[in-house]
Amino acid sequence: MDRASSSDAALVGAIRRGDEEAFARLYAAYRGPIFRYALHMCGVGSAEDVVQETFLALLRGDRFDAGRGTLAGYLFGIARHHILKRLAVTRLEAAGDDDRVIEATAPDEPSPFDDLSRTEAVEAVRAAIQSLPSAYREIITLCELEELDYAAAAGVIECPVGTVRSRLHRAKALLSAKLVRLTVGVRRS
Amino acid sequence: MPNEQDRVRNVTEALRAVAAQDVSLGPSSAVEARLLREVRSIARTRRRRRITVVTLAAAAVLAIAVAVPWKRSADNAAAGPQPSTSASRGGEVATAFFPLTYSSLPISNAQLVRVQVPRSALASFGLAPIDVPAAAAGGTASATVSADVLVGEDGVARAVRFVSP
């Protein structure tokens, strides 16, 4: 166990003994990333609930084994479990791969951001992320927005690192295609 | 006309812009307040449990010292069992564990609680004061000796041993 995981384990131990200061440190470090992950995955209405359930699970003794991964990976894993439950209940979208849309991308479209202000571009990207299938939205959120490395993301979504790479590549291509369509719409309007 | 590399770069830059704009997003303070209440509740529960265990252990020792003198007999006092001793933590020497009334109950998550008991409690177990080396009392004729009480998660004491520091 390296120093970071040993300090993670010590932090979780202190929290489970009721150490408020230790909890405050951990919460300050992870509330934002977990909230944003939940926000991108299941919307603002559920994001706070996911944060609360994730940290309650930690407090109430869901097992954290520092030898098996980082505390960040562990927390994202719990959050993911709650997110998937919510997605299943609300059926926000049908399952299925959207790779066909990538093939339909027009390669000679202009850059999505050529005629947009920065604010418009950010909003366009946000809308495009929201329209991605959940598996791609998730990989974009974890790897690009929250900057988890491939190994950590693979731990969270429980798949090989190679799958993370290929899924991220497809997600970016799909996002690019969607941005083209979205920004064309903005320009026309 | 953007090529594949340009498109990937554009998407990456756009995502960085979103990440930069979202960096201050987080849950409301109500979530933190709710979680802090949970942390405090955990701390309270642990404190209560610790107090219960110590209290019960102290009660058990008191029972040993006061309510079991009938075990003392002249024979035991005169030629009682020589306690087997073993090295304990930090170079201490301890007697073997003596079972108490409820020693036959199943035990889980046992805790060892260090207490001071009246020296006269030794006799209840057929030990003459000499059986616990004088060092147990710091080399002086102290009125108390150290003892480790084995207490179960249920707060019931199962066994006791006497310790020489």
CA distance A131 to A36: 16
Q: Which residue has the higher pLDDT, B56 or A156?
A: A156
Query: ipTM score here?
Result: 0.72
Q: What is the pLDDT of residue A115?
A: 55
Q: What is the pTM of this model?
A: 0.62
CA angle (B63, B69, B71) in 5-degree steps: 110
Minimum CA–CA partner of B43 in chain A:
A18
User: Which residues 6+ apart lie within 8 Å of A15 measured at CB?
Assistant: A22, A23, A26, A58, A59, B39
* Per-residue pLDDT, A103: 42
Q: Of the candidates A19, A35, A111, which has its C-beta nearest B26's C-beta? A: A35
Pairing of strands B144-151, B157-164: antiparallel
Residue A159 clears pLDDT 70, i.e. is over it: yes
pLDDT-derived band at A64 (thresholds 50, 70, 90) equals confident
For the purposes of burial, counting CB atoms within 10 Å of the CB of A80, is it exposed (0-12), middle (13-18) or buried (19 or more)?
Answer: buried
Average pLDDT over residues A67-73: 83
> Mind telling me how many Å the CA of B30 is from chain A's nearest CA?
9
Chain A's closest residue to B36, CA to CA, is A20
Residue pLDDT, tens place only, A7-38: 778 888 888 888 889 899 999 999 999 999 99
Check whether A189 has a pLDDT greater than 60. Answer: no
Is residue A188 pLDDT above 60, yes or no?
A: no
In this prediction, the residues of chain B whose per-residue pLDDT falls under 50 are: 70, 73-75, 77-82, 135-138
Convert the pLDDT of each residue in A74-94 to its tens digit.
899 999 999 999 888 776 454
Across the interface, whether the CB atoms of A52 and B31 are under 8 A apart is answered: yes
Cα B57 to chain centroid, rounded: 11
Interval B125-137: pLDDT, tens = 777 665 555 544 4
B22 and A145 within 8 Å at the Cβ level: the answer is yes
* Average confidence (pLDDT) over A87-115: 52
Q: Scanning every residue of chain A, which has its alpha carbon at the shortest distance from the alpha carbon of B46?
A: A17
pLDDT at A5 over 70: no
B62 burial via Cβ count (<10 Å: 0-12, 13-18, 19+): middle
Confidence of residue A112 (pLDDT cuts 50, 70, 90): low
